Amino acid sequence: MQRNALLFATLLLFLYLPSVSAQSPKREMRATWLTTVRSVDWPVMSTGAAAQKKDMLRMLDSLQTLNMNVVCLQVRCNADAFYQSAYEPWSALLTGKRGKDPGFDPLGFCIEECHKRGMQCHAWLNPYRYNNKKAMWDDGCETGYEYTHPEWLFLAPADNCVVMDPGLPEVRQRVKEVVGDILNKYEVDGILFDDYFYPYGGTASADAASAAKYKPAGMTVQDWRRQNVQLMVQDVYDTIRSVKPWVTFGISPFGIWTNDTYVARQHNLTLPKGIASSANMYAEIYCDPVTWLEDGTVDYISPQLYWATNSGQPYATLCQWWADVANRFGRHFYSSMSTDTYSRGKFTLDEMQTQTGLNRSSSKDDAFGFIFFNTKAYCYDTKFRKAFLKNELKYPALPPAVNWKPAPEQPMVTDLTVSGQKLTWKHANSGQVHYAVYAVPNAFRNRAHIWSVADALLGVTYTEEYTLPDHIVPSAWTIGVSVLDGYNNEYALRLAGTAELTAEPAVLIAPEADAACPAWEKVVFSWEYQKQADSYIIQIASDRGFTQLLAVQELTDNSFEASRRLNLAVAGDGEYWWRVKTRQPDTGDVWSEPRRLVIDAATGLLTPADTPAPRKVMLNGTIYIEHNGCRYTTTGLRVQ
């Protein structure tokens, strides 16, 4: 009787799928800054390895039950290490003495425990800071750079710290080596830098020696400093690409880029309006995140938007601006949000929920996400947990895919078996992929797009087994497993107890093959609706082999407006290719034919005498204009 009542209640819940799903997307980076500097979150250095492990496990359990999916563990605060480093000493924050072995490997432990819980672990590093005091360490640790490479360091009294000189090629090489060391030793899912580049408060002449030696004649010292940071970022990105290209690379700059309109115009950008701050990190710490996005040397940007929606730096304005800039260059935006301000009583719970909603509404590529700073500020907070689990974090979510990087297709899982509450399967690339597990009541298994909403997702596992929650009764539920690669791309879903089906490729409609269209923002891609399809994935590339991907989007509609992706407009005139993948349970993913598309502003929208006149078509309830093999939005057309 209790089981039937529970099932009935669950079925009623699923009746409200559309409204709940809008609050809790299936794809979202839900990350936390797990801060070790000054032991903000972890560890308590006097407690020892066993207690430090216990504290971390308690924190990870709390994050897991809050449906968070990424932990950013700070592993290099001051050119030291929370891991087995080939270059730098153990952090003093672990034992009280720099260089002393803590008796365990914090990064390795965190990765293992995150993966057990279906969460990712990103290694958070500070590239340049050496000591957050106005002095060298002077603690007798002979492997510290004040002993081995004192020429790499300079004092920054305005910022109360000692930093590694970004102007030295040897320092840039060491940052690159540190990242490569982590990648080669650990199965991290991401690398993340925070906002410390050149010192806050400015750099006067502390780097005069390196400037005299390395600054090109004719270049200002300000441009040279920015170039030094850009070269380091490029080196790190190249290292990741050569060692483990699926590892995500993000940077979290200060929340305001610059106040210089001339600098913005150089990137064809306008600055956000109504910002009271005169902050100019472009000129103070020589941080230029727009160039990183433009150069494609980061996968995401996470500006620190630690201001309220009604402040002089209004959150909504800055959030939308950064989201649009990231979209313009085909990269992701995940806002860094201040739960620390909430914990100190200066942000209300409503403010945190409002900001989370603004993150979601600002996205044009459905790559939602945030990073909460800091972890203890919210993960044990009963009021916060209760509110977010009721609404914003009601269901699990998969991190957005870095889907512009070419990745091999993955087959479905095989031998999917349910025994009691234990789910097991096999996969051809075991150990190289992870998996998403789904379940819906049998009565809803044929509902359109049921597998594309967060409600159906149970969680993620890095092994080939999963224990179903007690309320999932296998005989009354349809259960499935899909494959996730290191880029977070998802592949075809396999259902338990069903037969494998034959895939049907999508039939493309518009633009027609070899069509010439005048502008990206007018183009609407469309294909025939397939009743059994749960979703579609469109790829747009600058080459027929689809190795130079410009845009990838998963949709439940059978159309896609190119204007949703600002980076397509930046791509401009030229030859492009597009194709569509049909996603249907129990069928291997299958691509449509590829089609060539020419964007040529000279084409215009005027109708030559020998071509058909434009006609109106309706698609998914919206009217478009079809002309010369292209389909256009109806805004601003020049048709004769």
The per-residue pLDDT of the chain, averaged, comes to 92
CB of 469 within 8 A of CB of 10?
A: no
Q: Answer yes or no: is pLDDT of 606 > 70.
A: no
Rounded mean pLDDT of 271-281? 94
> What is the H or E stretch that residue 581 is in?
strand 574-583
Amino acid at site 616: K
- Weakest-pLDDT range from 46-60, 188-202, 520-534, 608-622: 608-622
**Mean of pLDDT values over 203-207:** 93
**Looking at residue 391, what is its pLDDT?**
95
Question: CB-based burial of residue 114 (10 Å sphere; 0-12 exposed, 13-18 middle, 19+ buried)?
Answer: buried
For residue 9, pLDDT beyond 70: no
Residue 601 pLDDT level (bands cut at 50, 70, 90): confident
Return the closest-CA partner of residue 273 out of 224, 313, 311: 313
Long-range contacts formed by 129-132: CB under 8 A, 24+ apart: 129/77, 129/78, 129/79, 129/161, 129/162, 129/163, 129/164, 129/196, 130/78, 130/79, 130/161, 130/162, 130/163, 130/164, 131/78, 131/161, 131/162, 132/37, 132/38, 132/77, 132/78, 132/160, 132/161
- Of 483, 482, 537, the C-alpha closest to 506 is 537
Of the listed ranges 246-255, 556-565, 596-605, the one predicted with least confidence:
596-605
Higher pLDDT, 503 or 551: 551
- Predicted local distance difference test score (pLDDT) of residue 629: 82
pTM for the structure as a whole = 0.94
Q: How far is CA 435 from CA 13, 175, 248, 372, 410, in A?
A: 25, 33, 18, 25, 11
Task: Kindly list the strands in the beta sheet with 422-426, ordered across the sheet, starting from the edge strand earlier in the chain.
Answer: 414-419, 422-426, 465-467
Over the stretch 401-435, which tens digit does the pLDDT of each residue have? 999 999 999 999 999 999 999 999 999 999 999 99
Higher per-residue pLDDT: 445 or 388:
388
Task: Examine the pLDDT at 215 and tell me if it is beyond 90.
Answer: yes
The whole-number average pLDDT for the span 363-388 is 97
CATH-assigned architecture of domain 1-23+401-498: Sandwich (2.60)
For the packed helices 106-116 and 49-65, what is the interaxial angle rounded to 10 degrees? 30
133 contacts 161 by C-beta, under 8 angstroms: yes
Which tokens hold the place of 470? 């007690």
DSSP 8-state code for residue 442? G
pLDDT at 16: 35
Which pLDDT band holds residue 635 (cuts at 50, 70, 90)? low
Average pLDDT over residues 444-470: 95
Average pLDDT of span 469-477: 96
Number of C-alpha atoms within 13 angstroms, CB side, residue 463? 12
Q: Which of 228, 106, 244 is nearest to 180 (CA)?
A: 244
Closest by CA to 211, choosing from 262, 166, 278, 146, is 166
Q: Is the pLDDT of residue 249 over 60?
A: yes
Structure token digits, residue 81: 């290490």
Same fold, 24-390 and 508-632: no
What pLDDT shows up at residue 23?
61
Q: What is the pLDDT of residue 19?
A: 37
Q: Is the peptide bond before 43 cis (omega within 30 degrees of 0)?
A: yes
pLDDT in tens, 152-192: 999 988 778 899 999 999 999 999 999 999 999 999 999 99
The backbone torsions φ and ψ at residue 269, rounded to the nearest 5 degrees and listed phi first, read -120, 155
Rounded Cα gap, residues 621 and 606, in angstroms: 26
CATH 3.40.50.2300 fits 24-390, yes or no: no
Q: Which residue has the higher pLDDT, 637 or 177?
A: 177
Give the architecture (CATH level 2) of 508-632.
Sandwich (2.60)
Tokens of 183: 């990648």
Query: pLDDT tens digits, residue range 327-336?
Result: 999 999 999 9
pLDDT score of 488? 98
Ranges of each domain in the chain = 1-23+401-498, 24-390, 508-632
pLDDT over threshold 50, residue 251: yes
